Amino acid sequence: MSLFILPGRASKTNMLNLTPKHPYLIGIDSDGCVFDTMEVKHKECFAPNVIKYYGLAGVSKYAREACDFVNLYSKSRGINRFPALIEELEWTAARPEVLARGVKIEIPKSVRDWVAAEPKPGNPSLEKAAKETGDPHLKHLLEWSKAVNRAVEEIVHNVPPFPYVRPCLEKMVAQADILVVSATPHEALQREWDEHDLTKYVVAICGQEVGTKKECLQPSQQYPPCHTLMIGDAPGDHKAAVANGALFFPINPGAEEASWKRLLDEGLQRFFDGAFTGKYQEELLAEFDRYLPELPPWKTK
């Protein structure tokens, strides 16, 4: 049983029991895709708390660079916050400048083990694990995560959707069931979609509590082949689409407005007309791949 979040209320049901109301399904990521919130959330909410909770004040410059690379400017963009944290700490610990300052960064084994084993990494599952094990490192990780959520709630307001998002949703809703598919906690998603009166367009808001993006997109199995489209700004969104046999339209980081305009002008009609697969899909993916590198700039200089 999965947590399936319907507009205005939450209930327990099976994700695969979603009853299609339209012939098409469209999944849409939220942060950095619909809303220009990635920069403010990661630079003002996540990175400062990584530095605070993991004692990185002495190497804050390098920690910030690692956080920005992992969450914004690499092929790890958009991954769940907990594996992202591990990757950020690993990149920071390996910097020669950090080693030269004698700052040792240790990632507790219990944290690595929990992240590797937990299928739905979020505060609810982490709180349960911390309570059951009494592990101080898991408790500390939970404190960090809660601090991030508090910062997001305090800071991230009045961030409108990218231009052309609303016209796209208005075009979609006549022919497609729309899902929000995100690794963000549900509370933040609900608040942001409600704030800008976008909730009315979607049949469900699926945050990290539901599961992975792959799991959130599983209702695609109830639609005909090539009738599901995932829209996202990160490689993880594409992977979720592939895992569910869905098509993928990228919102290219740094070129979001142009991407949404292209979706409005041509992408959606190609999807509804059955002209999306093949060359058009391949061109979109090749362009998307060029936007996000695998190595950080300090490794490629």
Q: Let me know whether 90 and 193 are in one domain.
A: no
Return all residues near 54 (Cβ < 8 A) that are at least 6 apart: 63, 89, 105, 144
Ordered strands of the 176-181 beta sheet: 204-206, 176-181, 24-28, 228-232, 247-250
Determine, yes or no, domain membership for 294.
no
Q: What is the DSSP letter of 161?
A: B
301 band by pLDDT with thresholds 50, 70 and 90: low
Q: Let me know whether 88 and 195 are in one domain.
A: no
Return all residues near 252 (Cβ < 8 A) that are at least 6 apart: 233, 258, 259, 287, 288, 291
pLDDT at 17: 58
Q: Let me know whether 54 and 66 are in one domain.
A: yes
Q: Let me know whether 101 and 185 are in one domain.
A: no
Determine, yes or no, domain membership for 299.
no
Q: Let me know whether 165 and 266 are in one domain.
A: yes
183 band by pLDDT with thresholds 50, 70 and 90: confident
CATH code of residue 174: 3.40.50.1000
Q: Let me know whether 25 and 165 are in one domain.
A: yes
Q: Let me know whether 108 and 244 are in one domain.
A: no
Q: Residue 127 has which token pair?
A: 């709180």
Q: Which residue has the tokens 């327990």?
A: 12
Q: Let me know whether 85 and 28 are in one domain.
A: no
Interval 220-249 mean pLDDT: 96
**Domain-ending residue, one of 104, 123, 155:** 155
Q: Residue 42 has which token pair?
A: 């990661």
Specify the number of domains making up the chain.
2
Does residue 277 have a pLDDT over 80?
yes
Q: Let me know whether 99 and 144 are in one domain.
A: yes
**Domain carrying residue 113:** 38-155
Return all residues near 147 (Cβ < 8 A) that are at least 6 apart: 49, 52, 53
**Domain-ending residue, one of 155, 173, 205:** 155
The number of C-alpha atoms within 13 Å of 105 and in the hemisphere containing its C-beta is: 29
154 band by pLDDT with thresholds 50, 70 and 90: very high
106 band by pLDDT with thresholds 50, 70 and 90: very high
Least confident of 86-100, 102-116, 198-212, 246-260: 198-212
**Domain-ending residue, one of 108, 133, 155:** 155
Output the DSSP codes for 22-87: SSEEEEE--BTTTBS-HHHHIIIIIHHHHHHHTT-GGGHHHHHHHHHHHHTSSTTTT--HHHHHHH
Interval 46-57 mean pLDDT: 98
Helix axes 136-155, 81-94, angle to 10 degrees: 100
Does residue 155 have a pLDDT over 50?
yes
Does residue 14 have a pLDDT over 50?
no
